[in-house]
Amino acid sequence: MLWSNRRRPLDLARRGAVLGILNVTPDSFSDGGQHLAVERAVAHGLQMLAEGAEIIDVGGESTRPGAAAVGAEEELQRVLPVVRGLRAAAPEALLSIDTSKAVVAEAALAAGADIINDITALRGDPAMRALAASSGAGVCLMHMQGEPGTMQAAPHYDDVVTDVRRFLAERLAVLAAAGVAAERVVLDPGIGFGKTPQHNLQLAARQRELLALGRPLLLGWSRKSTLGVVTGRPVAERLPASLAAALSAVVHGATVLRVHDVAATVDALKVWRAIDEAGAAT
């Protein structure tokens, strides 16, 4: 299955394409402030590419629970130099812009980004759908109940998997009506975005039900708070839990993994694939 974008289609036949997280923010939940300097951010992006990331996801606004909104101008100042720097240093790399603002997405695409990753599923800005349609960019639609500032205030679902699946199906239909071809879209159930730990675990256990929507799934478990609830570990000690969740996601049909720890995730996927391929050969 292909994920089309402005540069080159990404072949997702081998599950587990790695999308490396590059937060250019002072307040992201696990790496805020680490890559504010442009040179340092670009160097980290290039390092993740060298470690095996197939996409670098650049974000200039924290979406952690309780995060305050950032103005478009400040977000542009954070992300554009990084996108330009990565594009100049890695002309063939796939770059994603993590934003819900059309003005930021449009400028990032002009600077060299290929994919729009919008946590609001293109609902937050009325201009985003037209931009997605006209730009030819790849799109990631994510489910979120509420908005980052309040999303963890008692989230409720009748059935979290059914509700998320219905939402994503509706957003796919809206984008199709706007002229965005299905092959340009991947779907993200939004682990940790307006969901309790039990909601997140239910989504993981029943993830295959989302495959009925016919599009690739992107999962972002890396360092999430649910892993801390399960293990009792702080953010800095959640790598083993993140790898376990990532491999579970792939086993249950995910094709893209959004991660902080690229090298470790790539190694874990290599071992899983080797075992899986050995089993298939017997």
* Residue 31: Cβ within 10 Å count: 15
258 is annotated as an active-site residue: yes
By residue count, the chain amounts to 282
Catalytic residue among 7, 101, 223, 258: 258
Q: Beta 115-118 vs 138-142: how paired, if at all?
A: parallel
Q: Beta 55-59 vs 17-23: how paired, if at all?
A: parallel
| Euclidean distance between CA atoms 78 and 76, whole angstroms | 5
Task: Report, in angstroms and rounded to the nearest whole number, the Rg of the chain calculated over CA atoms.
Answer: 17
Is residue 281 packed enough to be buried (19+ CB in 10 Å), middle (13-18) or exposed (0-12)? exposed
Residue 26: helix, strand or coil by DSSP?
coil
Q: Which one-letter amino acid corresponds to residue 116?
A: I
Catalytic residue among 224, 238, 270, 273: 224
What positions carry a catalytic annotation?
Answer: 224, 258
